[in-house]
């Protein structure tokens, strides 16, 4: 048993990822209940968003725990899952703002454009070039920023919460990218996971409040 524990790669990161997944599963469940009551696209898309994040966090938890025990091929597969999750999450967020901002006849066209962009992005992930990945997603990121701006200037209820959420998550990404760690058992991954929980809570609150501006 002691030998097995010695082979655990990053136990604290595995735990923090698992905690993140629990929050995401709860937010998915709560938003899904709201969707069944109010039938709003925002609640449907945001619930799926949190479900995707919950599954991704569960997989990340297993990876942090068993990375030393699995093959390099599986490690590469984990990277592709992470990249795919990023693309799918941004696609779902962009669909939320397509639903908020655009008339019905434009939603299909813009939605297809972003869908094809995500497909392109997925094929780019094999290069493992972070800068290329971000550039390929730039139109979606800019559209989301524009959507947040329109929400704010129109004083949509929940828009400030979503803005705070995105800013907090962006701060977490900066910390993660910097490699800042407090301890080997509280490294950059743990910090990012806990910051993400705070940021995602704000997003959850913002999407939950969307019933008041539809």
pLDDT in tens, 66-106: 766 665 555 666 667 777 787 788 888 988 888 888 766 66
pLDDT at position 189: 85
Provide the whole-model pTM: 0.85
| Spatial separation of the C-alpha atoms in residues 52 and 59, rounded to whole Å | 11
Q: How far is CA 90 from CA 38, 66, 97, 121, in A?
A: 24, 28, 11, 11
Decide if pLDDT at 5 tops 50. no
Q: What is the structure's pLDDT at 121?
A: 65
pLDDT tens across 123-163, in order? 655 555 666 666 667 788 888 898 899 889 988 889 999 99
The pLDDT of residue 187 is 84
Q: How confident is the model at residue 65 (pLDDT cuts 50, 70, 90)?
A: confident
**What b/e sequence results for 116-133 when a residue is b if at least 16 CB atoms lie within 10 Å of its CB, and e otherwise?**
ebbeebbebbeeeeeeeb
Count the neighbouring beta carbons within 10 Å of the beta carbon of residue 142.
10
In this prediction, residue 70 carries a pLDDT of 62
Q: How far apart, in whole angstroms, are the C-alpha atoms of residue 165 and residue 175?
A: 16
Tokens of 58: 């569960």
In this structure, the number of other CB atoms found within 10 A of the CB of residue 202 comes to 20
pLDDT of 4: 47
Q: For residue 25, is pLDDT > 70?
A: yes
Distance from chain centroid for Cα 24: 10
Comparing 133 with 43, which gets the higher pLDDT? 43
**Left if phi > 0, otherwise alpha if psi is -120 to 50, otherwise beta: which for 128?**
left
* CA dist 114 → 59, 100, 101, 163 (Å): 26, 16, 15, 21
Structure tokens at 69: 């025990």
């Amino acid at each position: 048993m002691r030998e097995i524990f010695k082979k655990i790669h990053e136990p604290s990161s595995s735990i923090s990822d698992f905690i993140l997944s629990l929050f995401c599963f709860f937010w998915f469940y709560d938003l899904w209940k709201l969707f069944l009551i109010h039938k709003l696209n925002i609640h449907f898309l945001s619930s799926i968003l949190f479900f995707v994040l919950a599954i991704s966090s569960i997989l990340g938890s297993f990876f942090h725990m068993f990375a030393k025990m699995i093959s390099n091929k599986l490690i590469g597969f984990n990277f592709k899952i992470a990249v795919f999750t990023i693309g799918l999450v941004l696609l779902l967020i962009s669909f939320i703002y397509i639903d908020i901002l655009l008339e019905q006849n434009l939603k299909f066209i813009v939605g297809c454009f972003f869908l094809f962009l995500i497909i392109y992005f997925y094929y780019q992930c094999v290069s493992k070039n972070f800068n290329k990945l971000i550039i390929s997603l730039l139109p979606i990121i800019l559209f989301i920023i524009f959507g947040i701006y329109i929400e704010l200037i129109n004083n949509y209820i929940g828009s400030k919460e979503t803005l705070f959420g995105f800013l907090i998550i962006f701060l977490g990404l900066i910390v993660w990218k910097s490699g800042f760690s407090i301890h080997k058992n509280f490294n950059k991954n743990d910090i990012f996971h806990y910051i993400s929980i705070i940021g995602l809570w704000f997003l959850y609150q913002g999407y939950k409040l969307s019933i008041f501006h539809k």
